[in-house]
Amino acid sequence: MHANAFTYRALVVIGLLLFALPAHAATLSFTGASGTVGQTVSVSVLVSAQGGESLNGISARVNFPTDKLTLLSISKAGSIVTFWAEEPSFSNSAGTASLEGIVPNPGYSGQGGRVITFVFQVKAPGTATLSFGSASVLANDGRGTNVLTSAGPRTLSLASPVTPAVEPSVPVSKPKPVPMPKTEEVGQPDITDETATTSASVEPALSEVPTISTGVAREFSPFLILILAVIGLVALALAGAYGISRFLYGERMRRLAQGDVVHRSFGLLRKDLNAHLARLKRLPDSSLTKKEIDFIDQFEKDLADVESIVEKKLKTQK
């Protein structure tokens, strides 16, 4: 009888103890993928209720390695928490983040409910372990019973950035230049001794002709450039006339022809210059600046000086 009574009492005590223990539980966990240096990694905190437990309060303090990760932001998007007793916050210097939220009645019952999401940037390669420094999950039982039974860490694998392989450069051979076929110039007259002598005799006279700065002419209108071209044509005409007069008329007739050619050539030049100026003045939208007028006056003076020098040179050669 005494043995049976002791056994009965032991069974009653064990039954009371089992009844007093909580029948339900909850767990916290991390979810996240590996990452590469320089990229961002999202890590979420999940809660799961076991055995149909209803949860209405979650608080946690998360630790992360500051030498491997930098916490950029915390996202509440898609969270089961609808009221935050303490807004989520973090410190990169301490390597911690904290949160405290409430799920109003009837609470949360389910698996893998998202509580919060951390967005990290990977700083260095290696492994980074996230863990819960402290945490609690409260049951919706009117007494705020902490039913958290497990809060496991999460280790992320962090890789170095991949360096693209450099393909070896292939030397490019330069194409060999193709020789151009030689072309014969057509219509080039033969230079006789007479023509060479004429060019040599006229060259000293032209070397004494005053020169006009082409740098100043570039600042004027295009018609002044045309005038300079006419001067070149006149110089060629002088040389040609000199050679033709000597060839056709002989030494005596050459002296007479030289003076006449000089006067006619310079007269033709003055006539062309006056014609261009008159045409320019007739244009409705044309007007000469003071600089251009001064240039024309100086040009006419230089033209007279050139004619005088050429005449003197011809007289000394008679």
What is the rounded average pLDDT for all residues in the chain?
A: 75
Most confident of 7-16, 110-119, 180-189: 110-119
Give the residue with greater pLDDT, 184 vs 178: 178
* Cis peptide leading into residue 106 (ω within 30°): yes
Q: What is the pLDDT of residue 174?
A: 65
Distances (CA, A) of 50 to 26, 143, 201, 261: 6, 18, 121, 123
Q: Which two tokens stand for residue 297?
A: 């006056």
- C-alpha closest to that of 35 among 163, 116, 156: 156
- C-alpha closest to that of 140 among 107, 101, 100: 107
Yes or no: say if 48 and 26 are a contact pair by the CB < 8 Å rule: yes
Cα separation, 262 vs 161, whole angstroms: 86
Q: Which two tokens stand for residue 57?
A: 């309060």
Q: What is the pLDDT of residue 260?
A: 67
Cα separation, 110 vs 316, whole angstroms: 124
Query: In percent, how much of the chain has pLDDT > 70?
Result: 56
Is pLDDT of 176 > 60?
yes
Indicate the pLDDT class of residue 269, thresholds 50, 70 and 90. Answer: confident
Long-range Cβ contact pairs of 20-24 (< 8 A, separation 24 or more): 22/145, 22/147, 23/51, 24/49, 24/50, 24/51, 24/52, 24/53, 24/139, 24/147
Q: Which two tokens stand for residue 151?
A: 């809060």
Is pLDDT of 34 > 80?
yes
Yes or no: say if 146 and 110 are a contact pair by the CB < 8 Å rule: no
Most confident of 89-98, 144-153, 295-304, 309-318: 89-98
Indicate the pLDDT class of residue 94, thresholds 50, 70 and 90. Answer: very high
